[in-house]
């Protein structure tokens, strides 16, 4: 299935680890799926010697000049899945949309703090003269946006906490009825109303004494914490 998916978060939030886990899941359950990734740098070696079709991993600066160049090269390899280390400029964003439009699934990351911010920043990469048309192209391809943080727990470990939005047909129809400048706010409002924000989950962890106050206030305004 073609489309766009995003795993987002700040530096050190485990984005690369989660993406690697997704690629491994795909290879385990769909061994004939062809995966190519473009990373900066390559952090995990994907696949093993028993794979029927091992993932092809390329590193920016060593194997290919840029993420955008990698995307253009990937399309010629005709993979099912294209992994892009990060989308941070217009050229890469445009190449990702073109890959989706030609039948590929593109998985990438952005340094953002919410699904709504991710969508707004992605659309903001496109020049104003083409932003409207590209927004509709993105909406037609977008499948999910996930944001992750790693939280230090009272038992000495770290736990991944995630908020996400799945762009199903109903949500896509709702978004299509409003200006694209409002899409990000609408998505974040849904997550807030359903109490699925990262801060909502960490507040529950704090109430259950799974995290201490010092850790909780990194994600939650102190006034929202119970003593």
Helix crossing, 115-124 with 183-193: angle to 10°?
170
Predicted structure pTM score: 0.95
What are the sequence ranges of the domains in the chain?
1-111
Taking Cα atoms as reference points, which of 87, 78, 121, 120 lies closest to residue 19?
87
65 φ, ψ (degrees, to nearest 5) = -70, -35
Establish whether the linkage from the previous residue to 30 is cis, with ω within 30° of 0.
no
Closest CA to 38 of 92, 1, 89, 91: 92
DSSP tag of 86:
-
For every one of its 227 residues, what pLDDT tens digit does the chain have, with 9 covering 90 and above? 899 999 999 999 999 999 999 999 999 899 899 999 999 999 999 987 777 788 999 999 999 999 999 999 998 889 999 999 999 999 999 999 999 999 999 999 999 999 999 999 999 999 999 999 999 999 999 999 999 999 999 999 999 999 999 999 999 999 999 999 999 999 999 999 999 999 999 999 999 999 999 999 999 998 888 75
Cα separation, 37 vs 70, whole angstroms? 8
> Alpha-carbon distance 79 to 73, whole Å?
11
Query: Half-sphere exposure of residue 100, counting CA atoms within 13 Å on the CB side?
Result: 22
Q: Give the CATH class of 1-111.
A: alpha beta
Q: Please state, in angstroms and rounded to a whole number, the distance separating the CA atoms of residues 211 and 14.
A: 19
Reference 119, options 136, 100, 103; nearest CA is 136
Cα dist from 114 to 6, 165, 217, whole Å: 11, 10, 17
Residue 125: partners with Cβ closer than 8 Å, 6 or more residues away: 87, 88, 89, 90, 93
- Determine the Cα–Cα distance for residues 68 and 94; give it in Å rounded to an integer: 8
């Amino acid at each position: 299935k073609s489309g766009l998916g995003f795993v987002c978060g700040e530096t050190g939030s485990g984005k690369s680890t989660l993406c690697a886990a997704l690629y491994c899941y795909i290879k385990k359950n769909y061994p004939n799926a062809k995966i190519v990734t473009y990373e900066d740098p390559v952090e995990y070696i994907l696949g093993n010697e028993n794979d029927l079709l091992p993932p092809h991993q390329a590193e920016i600066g060593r194997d290919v000049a840029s993420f955008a160049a990698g995307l253009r090269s990937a399309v010629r390899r005709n993979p099912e899945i294209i992994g892009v280390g990060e989308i941070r400029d217009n050229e890469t964003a445009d190449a990702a949309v073109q890959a989706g439009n030609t039948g590929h699934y593109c998985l990438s990351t952005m340094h953002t703090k919410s699904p709504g911010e991710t969508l707004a920043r992605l659309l903001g990469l496109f020049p104003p003269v083409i932003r409207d048309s590209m927004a509709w192209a993105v909406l037609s391809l977008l499948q999910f946006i996930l944001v992750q943080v790693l939280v230090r727990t009272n038992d000495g470990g770290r736990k991944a906490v995630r908020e996400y939005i799945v762009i199903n047909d109903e949500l896509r129809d709702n978004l299509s009825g409003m200006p694209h400048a409002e899409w990000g706010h609408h998505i974040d409002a849904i997550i807030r109303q359903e109490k699925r924000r990262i801060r909502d989950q960490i507040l529950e962890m704090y109430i259950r004494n799974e995290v201490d106050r010092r850790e909780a206030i990194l994600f939650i305004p102190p006034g929202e914490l119970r003593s």
